[in-house]
A and B are shown apart, each in its own frame.
Chain A
Amino acid sequence: MQLVIFLVLLALGYGFGRWAEARHYRRIHEREKALRRILVIPMRLPPPEYLQHGSTLVTGSVVISVDYFKTIAAALRNVFGGRVGAYESLLDRARREATIRMQEEAKKVGAQAVLNVKYETSRIGEQAGKSIGSVEVLAYGTAMIPRAPR
């Protein structure tokens, strides 16, 4: 029966979704802590400290899939309106993960900070007919690299 399939998918989506989200947040917290010294700064022009630094583009991008439970919860929100909490946590995770990946790249090139950080987001796979889609978040900025080791 259609309803049974629906409920099974819902339960699977909820179970795996919650598990993956909890695990992802744990990893986000660990890595944010580890990368705290790679500054993430939104300002466009370098502050005086970085005037002599070299620079390069660093990016971090992440694609996260929506699970079935979130889709249904969002579809219900389509009827009643209001905040789509299910997607808020998804995008929060995606933004922070993208930032972390950008910081990791910056660390690799020896940068102290990433300036002028911007985010872009786009959806993927929703045109394919099935509306369970994925979301991509791209974070990018200018890595400030000290010219000579101090």
Chain B
Amino acid sequence: MSSNLPSENPVLPDEINNSYEHPLKDFLILAGSLCALLTATIYLIAWTAFWLAPRIPFEWEPSIAGIAAPKLNEQQKQQQAYLQDLANQLSASQPQPLPVTVHWLPEEDTPNAFAMVAGQLYITGGLVKTISSENALAMVIAHEYAHVEKRHPMILFLEQVSTGLLMSAVGIHDQISPLSQSAGLLTLMSFSRDMERAADNQAIELVRAYYGHTAGADEFFAKMQSEEDLPLWTSALQTHPATSERLKRLQAEDDTEGKLTPLPSWMKRRAASLETED
């Protein structure tokens, strides 16, 4: 009987069921397009937030604000009143100043200040400890006030809500979320740095209108720069522009000479005495 059967199995070709395309090439193209797509979308969201936020009445902001006011003793209330007064006077030069509420965080040692929705400004004890003149404090308060006036907290709120919605609605696979989140974050951070620059610029105007010069306005940034030492490449990962850049911007003003207004002694002393109590 003649055999119809082969004597051996055929040698299997490798490239039919397995494309042998370099996996990295495929991966990089896909990851690149995903990041580009997300960056474009987030860019659009951020741009829309910038457009929309100033058109939302400021009076609506308290409805989305979680207001955390720390408990203060009598001395600390006096310090908070001084900060509030300074904020009011700085904003008084604006044609239509927005009402802000200054919250004093005397127990917080990290030098920091931030603005939140509904005109909530927060100033930490650590910040006041760092500086020596009222002018430097005024620059920081004016900077935070500028955020409020430019509706930056509202912009951030809109950005965060809509990117959060986007991420959950698209339901991008959990596994690639580190990738997509980083792309989104980097885009938002670049907007954030633009906001900081805008706030710096307006703060200079406010400080000049109040004191007649911008002397001492750079003190806080100079102090911060002497402490931070970040390599240049990290600037794309920061929410704020490099301190050296901001410092250069401030020192480029032509009226950096002038008489400094001292801080009231009790402002500093009690902030310092809190430290020794600890």
Contacts and interface: CB of A to CB of B under 8 A. Distances in A.
Whether A and B are associated in the same complex: the answer reads yes
B23 A2 contact: no
Interface in B16-39: 17-21, 23-24, 26-27, 30-31, 33-34
B50 to A, nearest CB: 26
A73 B173 contact: no
A36 B11 CA distance: 8
Contact of B12 (A32, A39, A47, A73): A32
A76 B34 contact: yes
A135 interface: no
A54 interface: no
B228 interface: no
A39 B5 contact: yes
B27 A76 contact: yes
B31 A76 contact: yes
A33 B8 CA distance: 10
B244 interface: no
A36 B12 CA distance: 10
A5 B178 CA distance: 9
A112 to B, nearest CB: 9
A134 interface: no
A38 B26 CA distance: 37
A79 B32 CA distance: 12
Interface string B222-249: 0000000000000000000000000000
B30 A76 contact: yes
A72 B27 contact: yes
Contact of B173 (A38, A47, A78): A78
A93 B20 CA distance: 12
Contacts of B26: 73, 85-86
A75 interface: yes
Given A25-B14, A92-B18, A48 B1 contact: yes
Given A2-B181, A39-B6, A76-B30, A49 B1 contact: yes
Nearest to B21: A85
B24 to A, nearest CB: 7
Nearest to A43: B5
Contact of B175 (A80, A86, A131): A131
Interface residues on B, range: 20 to 34
Interface residues of A, number: 42
Contacts of A118: none
B30 A39 contact: no
A48 B3 CA distance: 8
B19 A85 contact: yes
Given A39-B5, A131-B174, A131-B175, A89 B30 contact: no
B12 A79 contact: no
Contacts of B34: 76, 79-80
Contacts of B18: 88-89, 92-93
B73 interface: no
Interface string A66-110: 000111110111111001011011011101100000000000000
B64 interface: no
A96 B14 CA distance: 10
B28 to A, nearest CB: 10
A93 B19 CA distance: 12
Given A14-B24, A25-B14, A36 B9 contact: yes
A35 B9 CA distance: 8
Contacts of A44: none
Nearest to B180: A79
B136 to A, nearest CB: 33
B175 A37 contact: no
A92 B17 CA distance: 6
A85 B18 CA distance: 7
Most buried by A among B17, B20, B23, B172: B23
10 contacts: A2-B178, A2-B181, A6-B179, A18-B23, A37-B8, A69-B27, A73-B23, A76-B34, A89-B20, A131-B174
Shortest Cβ-Cβ A-B pairs, 3 listed: A6-B178, A76-B30, A75-B173
